[in-house]
Chains A and B, each alone.
Chain A
């Protein structure tokens, strides 16, 4: 199957700093990428959907100015958590889809664990 990577796999930062997480599709072109967050022992919550070359669509309740998403190429999307606070500590997972031609299947990255001190 298609491979999606995330970097870093974990990050610890101080409150007030910004953190960038990368999501890459390694062997296919991802027309759409999705960002999820997951709190311990809970399910995945979709944060936003991004299409290459256009602005991301955020889910209700997700602050677009806090969670900046850039999908500049067909193989890379980035999520920047700006001015991070301890409540932003979570597991962030991205997924990538090649679009309708690929059956709309999403391929998930391994996740990034963010801890904000």
Chain B
């Protein structure tokens, strides 16, 4: 299956700054999800945004979705060292709502 693209591939910021990650995909989707993965660990579900939604918030996370451009962004505000991880977007296609296609990921490093 075709993966989505994420950029940047890697991002290094200082604690307190905001981090923005972008995700582009190719097909029509049912929803788009963002996950976090600490090194060598499993995935943690962060947020899900449906195709008819444009923006969603959860704590320090803000996700936008532009279906016309087939893109999404994840903003982490007031970053902390504990936010250091890889972040992946994943799309659920309209035809197979439960099957996820993961993006290439962004490795975020938050330094003190």
Contact = CB atoms under 8 A, between A and B. Distances in A.
A25 to B, nearest CB: 14
Contacts of A97: 98
- What range describes how many residues of A lie at the interface? 20 to 34
A105 B3 contact: no
Contacts of A60: 1
A43 B101 CA distance: 10
A93 interface: yes
Interface residues of B, number: 23
Contacts of B48: 105
Interface string B12-48: 0000000000000000001000010000111111001
Interface stretch (A14-22, A63-71, A73-81, A109-117): A109-117
Contacts, number: 59
Contact of B100 (A91, A106, A109, A113): A106
A72 interface: no
Given A59-B1, A104-B92, A113-B40, A44 B45 contact: no
In the A-B complex, the 9 residue pairs with the closest CB atoms = A110-B42, A104-B98, A108-B43, A44-B102, A43-B102, A111-B42, A108-B42, A104-B97, A43-B105
A111 B42 CA distance: 5
Contacts of B42: 6, 93, 108-111
Contact of A108 (B3, B45, B101): B45
Contacts of B44: 108
